[in-house]
Structure 1
Amino acid sequence: MSMLVFGRSGQVGSALAKLAQGARFLGRDAADLANPSACAAAILEARPSVVINAAAYTAVDRAEEDEALAQTINGEAPGEMARACAELDIPFLHISTDYVFDGSGDRPWSATDPTAPVNAYGRSKAAGEAAVRAAGGRHAILRTSWVFSATGSNFVTTMLRLSESRDALNIVEDQIGGPTPALAIAEALLEMAGSMVRGRGGGTYHFAGAPATSWKGFAEAIFVAADRQVSVTGIPTKDYPTPAKRPLNSRLDCSALETDFGIRPPDWRAALDDVVKELT
């Protein structure tokens, strides 16, 4: 199976690079998602047996002022990639996000629930999903949430950095979701890619860590894993204003992924121990 992966330096791309060493990876220097037609051309030239898009515009707050670029990278580029894959009749796997939902209620979101993003980033990712589906080829959209790893900037690395100079933090406690290890996402994508090359599976799926927790609960777990004495006080979202509105309910129903591919949600607590050990 020849695999082409867009994105290598991000959290999931880095994890894929460790696991799929025979794959060809295209970074921004070789395939800039701000130029969607060039991404499609790279696929048509390489003619792989499967494509994974692990690249994205992920600056949630900056997207509020830069929505046009976010729409190009997260909306138009995946659509062009998907059309190229449809032309070659090969599977296309694309990572999306819980931010396509409005965060209302308290039940886990189903993959079939209607989307209603509340910020520019979410709108750009929803546009990408629609473009991938409209391409008409074999595809899998994998929505995930609260990604963490030892690579790059994420909640775990931020909390560890803050704990070096702070012994007390106020952390949002009314946003609930599933922290998801990047390594587990990469493993899931590779399993899905292999199955889809063999003609099995496809559609929209959810993949998030279990059990669900708050940012406050996640922070407390990080400090326990790192053996750092930091007092965590829970605060409501309204007391931590950000340029982009965040959904309160990011719980994801992952049952469809288990049904079609046999992939179960990862226990983020076990993965957190490994990440913290790597970082400390």
Structure 2
Amino acid sequence: MSDAEYVQPNTLKVDFSWKKFRCLVTDASPSPEHNASMIVHCNLRKPHLEFRDSNDEELIGTGNLHTFKIDSESEVRGQPMHIKALKRYTTGYTHPSQAYRTFGGSPMNMTWTSSTNFKNWDFVCLDENQEPVARFASNVWAVRKLGFIEFMGDKASDPAAREEIVVVGLTIYYTMLLRMNNIFQLFGAVAAKPGYPKNENEDEHEMYTPEATSSSRDVDLDAKTAHARVSTVGSSSSSAMKPVEG
């Protein structure tokens, strides 16, 4: 399948180079308005993931994984974000979003879930209203072409939102790969305290007050429901998101 088939303006493709051990994130259909290019360096030491502009090597963000803990951390443009697990044994994460925060308001509570089959592994990001804003469609068996990141909603073209989704989304993707291939993560899952964060640090987690999270706590993080909403929101673009050949 050729890359020419993916012509959606709000879609990024993710390719991996084993020789250089890094990912290249680029626009699937470059244009004057959309011509982003980001290199993701994969390291054995912290920061485990370094997201840099491919033009000038400017640091955009980082991602850090843990040997035992199933949580992870990321940083986008100097803003740290705790990526907290919502479930012990299946994909469910939340992070406080600066890019999707309301004007003058607190960071928005974003939720990540996933759905997988024999070939495809999709990660969906939902906003506080449980509306999909992005999807990372990856190929389980891909060697080079890892997948595509599709953006939806009002901020699909917003550079800050796109950077945050790429950094957090790929950090969660590699976190789940580590969880699947590291037996210590099983012990970490048992010891974990999943769920939306408490208001332990008012400066960092204002968004996590009981009032702010009551609606989110009541939401059933069902992957099939999330993916059905993705199809509804981006029905025209989703049809172009065919399985990735690796």
Higher RCO structure, 1 or 2 (CA under 8 Å, sep 6+): 1
Which structure: greater helix fraction?
1
Which structure: greater strand fraction?
2
Q: TM-score, normalised by structure 2?
A: 0.32
Q: TM-score, normalised by structure 1?
A: 0.29
